[in-house]
Amino acid sequence: MLLSDLAQVIRSKNAGPRRLTLDIMLASDTDYQRVAQSPALSREAIGRLYRIASEDVVVILYPLGRAIKITLPRETAGDPGDRDVYGAQQHAPLLGIEI
């Protein structure tokens, strides 16, 4: 099953000028546990997906809110050539993750 089939919300946004945050929110405890325990959202897997070092990936689990926050480094928002100044389109690679 794809992450996009399980999650109610998958979004991205800037977390400062040089960080990006990816948010995943799920409707049920069962779905949350399935996604939170999946190796597809490990630091290593996210690092490969976004082509960054796994040690630069931070995965934060929020079981009470059924949410997962992933923080990544990014080029400085607004630099020449930046095509997504707000970081609002960077969640797209998560949509196709197989859980």
d(CA 53, CA 64): 29
* pLDDT score for 86: 84
* pLDDT score for 82: 76
CATH code for the domain in which residue 52 is found: 3.30.70
d(CA 11, CA 32): 16
Residue 94: inside a domain: no
d(CA 31, CA 48): 24
Q: Domain range for residue 33?
A: 3-77
Please provide the distance, in angstroms rounded to a whole number, between the alpha carbons at the two ends of the chain: 6
> Per the confidence metrics, is the pTM higher than 0.85?
yes
* pLDDT score for 8: 97
Residue 82: inside a domain: no
* pLDDT score for 60: 98
Residue 12: inside a domain: yes
Condensed to tens digits (0 to 9), the pLDDT of residues 10-62 reads 999 999 888 999 999 999 999 999 999 999 999 999 999 999 999 999 999 99
Number of domains in the chain: 1
Residue 86: inside a domain: no
